[in-house]
Amino acid sequence: MKMDVRCWVAACVFLAGCSSAPRDFTREYHEALGERPGVTMDNWMEGKRAVSRFAGLYGDLTPANVTAKVREVYAPNAWFNDTIATEVGIDAIESYLLKTAKGTEAVQAKVQDVAVSGADCYVRWTMEVRAKNLAGGEPVITEGMSHLRFDDQGKIILHQDFWNPASGIYQQLPLLGPAIRYVNGLITKP
């Protein structure tokens, strides 16, 4: 499939317009890790219980669910990065999740597995997103993992997602999608 030059230029202009000063996400993540050591969990079951509120929020990410549950899930000073945005503090996280929920028809994540190592809890999940302007309204399914740390009240103080939004979401956008698929085709050709 040949890409129309106008689409390529438009995608480049879009990406350039979206970018600001470069951010060092690795540094930010490591700083957040150092500032939020979390509470050590004794076993896998303790981690699974801690993750249950997280699963309840993301299992059906609607505006009503966000409003009802986000403050039960996240601590006031929580650090959050879903690979698309970094938010610090419960007000910023709530605002971001409400914007996400309002901008989609449905977002549902199902927890597949939980692993615990000291204060670190790793959650493997499958997420389904539906939006009118995404993949022609068809569900987009992605796989990912979240690194979570909890405070002594069982609330999340650190949330770092690991997933590929380019293949899961961005590739499905009307203007950006063709550019990403084109670049992926160039990279994967022998």
Q: What CATH number did the domain enclosing 170 receive?
A: 3.10.450.50
Residue 3 in any domain: the answer is no
Tell me the C-alpha distance between 177 and 97, whole Å. Answer: 23
Residue 156 in any domain: the answer is yes
User: Residue 61 is part of which domain span?
Assistant: 23-188
At 53 the pLDDT is 95
DSSP state for residue 134 in the 8-state scheme: B
> Position 183: which residue type?
V
Residue 9 in any domain: the answer is no
The two structure tokens encoding residue 113 = 């597995």
At 190 the pLDDT is 63
Tell me the C-alpha distance between 9 and 184, whole Å. Answer: 17
As for how many domains the chain has, the answer is: 1
From the list 140, 141, 160, 158, the residue with the least C-alpha distance to 150 is 158
Instruction: Label residues 31-46 b or e (16+ Cβ within 10 Å = b).
Output: ebbeebebeebeeeeb
DSSP state for residue 135 in the 8-state scheme: G
Residue 11 in any domain: the answer is no
Instruction: For residue range 12-40, list pLDDT tens digits in order.
Output: 444 444 555 567 888 999 999 999 999 99
pLDDT surpassing 90 at residue 189: no
At 21 the pLDDT is 58
At 139 the pLDDT is 80
- Where does the pLDDT of residue 1 fall: very low under 50, low under 70, confident under 90, or very high at 90 and above? very low
Residue 8 in any domain: the answer is no
pLDDT surpassing 70 at residue 175: no
At 42 the pLDDT is 85
From the list 188, 173, 181, 187, the residue with the least C-alpha distance to 2 is 181
Tell me the C-alpha distance between 4 and 52, whole Å. Answer: 47
Tell me the C-alpha distance between 167 and 46, whole Å. Answer: 33
From the list 86, 63, 67, 62, the residue with the least C-alpha distance to 158 is 86
Phi-psi region of 135 (alpha: psi -120 to 50; beta: other; left: phi over 0): left
